[in-house]
Amino acid sequence: MKASVKQTIIRNIIFGVQDSFGSTVGFLSGIAVSGVTKETLLTSGIILVIVEAFSMGIGSIISDHTVEEVKTKRSLPLKGSAFGGVYMFFAYVIAGMVPLLPYYFMWGPYAILWSIGMTTFFVGLLGYISGRMLGLSPMHHTKEMLFVGLVAIIAGVTVGKLLPSA
């Protein structure tokens, strides 16, 4: 596999998983503490994951395509950049199921705690694995990923608590 292709795949998987974990757990935590019903949360969560996965996948295709055109200084077909977007889409959808899953089986504070706990564990695991794969400090990557994930959780819960429920 060509180095640039491998880099594109790794970048899109890490970006898709990290963004999905952060966005989804932050969103769900905020929605859950705002007082909506379980059905509303599940419907909203699924919509968020699918729409964001498409958006991130398309964004990946467009940005990779633009970078390639800038590098080569010529117009290129869009399809050459599509594989990165596909990786982004699936990484986002799969990762988005992690924080959503507890809400299928429980409700209330336990669902929120399980969602945050599972997501935090997998965010840390992503940091560790990506650090190892890249030959960098696994602990440093783990700390970075956990910090970003926790910021998203805090933001989601804070906004959910501050806004009145509908």
**Residues of the chain falling short of pLDDT 70:** 1-3, 164-166
Contact criterion met (CB below 8 Å) for 18 and 26: no
Q: What is the pLDDT of residue 166?
A: 56
pTM: 0.85
Task: Give the residue extent of every domain in the chain.
Answer: 3-162
Q: What is the pLDDT of residue 113?
A: 92
Sign of the alpha-carbon torsion through 38, 45, 23, 122: positive
H or E segment at 62? helix 38-72
Confidence at residue 111, expressed as pLDDT on a 0 to 100 scale: 94
55's tokens: 């958006």
Among candidate residues 13, 39, 34, the one with its CA nearest the CA of residue 104 = 39
Question: What is the pLDDT at residue 4?
Answer: 75
* Distance from C-alpha of 122 to C-alpha of 66, rounded to nearest angstrom: 32
Residue 155, pLDDT score: 81
